[in-house]
């Protein structure tokens, strides 16, 4: 599985199996040979330039580049200048025990223009072997912050492109949530085929157009019910669900409560923005 497939995943779909962070300093002309290993390797270059060579190609990188070296790949690195860098080895798995990867080929994931990762990796390195109270929890927090930032920076362009392709359809859906507009009509607004619209929508939002519309409807219904100004039937009608029994079933599916229970005990926001 690729990391970008987890853009809207639940926490139980990712497990951090292994983590090692090592600050390094080498002189110009330093060479290193890495044999295949079952970890994803990231090299964050603080200073210097390096050439990586592989069986099927080569890669050059410099200061503030985040280099990705997939698991089970052998390589040779040769530093062209005195250098400082951080090596991050980690292993991620999904809920089925399958490895999660950032990609298939070695590459420069992104250039850290604003040195965002310098401080984060330094903090994480300091906590790597700390054994004080709750250091393990801070280490875990920093690690997931690192993963989140890298995943966003790696996939930002692709995710932004996907959002722009379906923007007209999403905007229409959000402005007209009480209408039963078809996927065909939404796709037409975006000049896409229905199958392409569904595929890009699922990838961008992490759910189907119908499920997204239902979430919008139940979010709006929750606001209306909280106001105390409407009956359950009136709320169902306002959000475009004619059948009150179906509305109740849908509401419970998304919130865990019946609509009538909302006024009794309240409900937390179940629908964070995507």
Specify the higher pLDDT residue, 154 or 106: 106
On average, the pLDDT of the chain sits at 86
- The more confident residue out of 5 and 139 is 139
Domains (range + CATH), the chain: 3-155 (2.60.120.280), 211-265 (1.10.10.60)
Sequence-distant (6+) residues with CB within 8 A of 71 are 36, 37, 38, 39, 40, 41, 91, 99, 101
Residue 146, by phi and psi: left (phi above 0), alpha (psi -120 to 50) or beta? alpha
What was the pLDDT predicted at 264? Answer: 56
- pLDDT tens readout for residues 224-246: 888 888 889 999 999 999 899 99
Q: Flag whether pLDDT at 164 surpasses 80.
A: yes
Q: What is the pLDDT of residue 46?
A: 94
What pLDDT sits at residue 62? 96
Q: Would the pLDDT of 173 be above 70?
A: yes
Contacts of 199-208 with CB under 8 Å at 24 or more apart are: 200/162, 200/165, 200/166, 201/166, 201/169, 201/170, 203/7, 203/162, 204/159, 204/162, 204/163, 204/166, 205/8, 205/170, 205/274, 206/7, 206/8, 206/9, 206/274, 207/8
What number of CA atoms fall less than 13 Å from residue 253's CA on the CB side? 11
Q: What is the pLDDT of residue 270?
A: 47
Task: Look at residue 269 and tell me whether its pLDDT is greater than 60.
Answer: no
How do residues 247-265 score in pLDDT, each as one tens digit?
Answer: 999 988 888 888 888 755 5
Q: What is the mean pLDDT of residues 135-162?
A: 82
Contact between residue 76 and residue 33 where contact means Cβ atoms under 8 Å apart:
yes
Q: How confident is the model at residue 80 (pLDDT cuts 50, 70, 90)?
A: very high
pLDDT of 268 reads: 46
Q: Is the pLDDT of residue 272 over 50?
A: no
Is 80 within 8 Å of 53 (Cβ atoms)?
A: no
Task: Choose the weakest-confidence range: 43-52, 158-167, 184-193, 258-267.
Answer: 258-267
């Amino acid at each position: 599985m690729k990391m970008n497939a987890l853009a809207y995943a639940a926490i139980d779909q990712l497990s951090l199996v292994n983590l090692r962070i090592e600050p390094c300093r080498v002189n110009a002309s330093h060479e290193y040979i890495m044999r295949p290993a079952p970890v994803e390797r990231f090299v964050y270059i603080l200073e210097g330039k390096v050439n990586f060579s592989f069986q099927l190609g080569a890669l050059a990188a410099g200061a503030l580049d985040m280099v990705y070296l997939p698991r089970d790949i052998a390589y040779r690195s040769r530093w062209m200048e005195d250098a400082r860098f951080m090596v991050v080895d980690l292993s991620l798995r999904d809920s089925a025990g399958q490895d999660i990867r950032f990609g298939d080929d070695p590459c420069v994931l992104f250039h850290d223009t604003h040195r965002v990762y310098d401080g984060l990796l330094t903090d994480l390195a300091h906590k790597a072997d700390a054994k004080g109270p709750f250091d393990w929890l801070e280490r875990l927090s920093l690690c997931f912050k690192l993963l989140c930032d890298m995943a966003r920076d790696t996939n930002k362009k692709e995710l932004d492109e996907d959002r722009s392709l379906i923007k007209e359809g999403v905007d229409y859906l959000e402005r007209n949530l009480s209408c039963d507009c078809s996927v065909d009509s939404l796709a037409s607004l975006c000049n896409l085929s229905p199958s392409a619209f569904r595929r890009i929508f699922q990838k961008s939002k992490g759910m189907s157009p119908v499920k997204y519309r239902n979430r919008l409807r139940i979010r709006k219904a929750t606001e209306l019910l909280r106001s105390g100004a409407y009956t359950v039937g009136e709320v169902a009608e306002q959000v475009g669900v004619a059948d009150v029994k179906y509305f109740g079933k849908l509401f419970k599916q998304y919130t865990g409560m019946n609509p009538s229970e909302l006024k009794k005990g309240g409900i937390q926001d179940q629908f964070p923005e995507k």
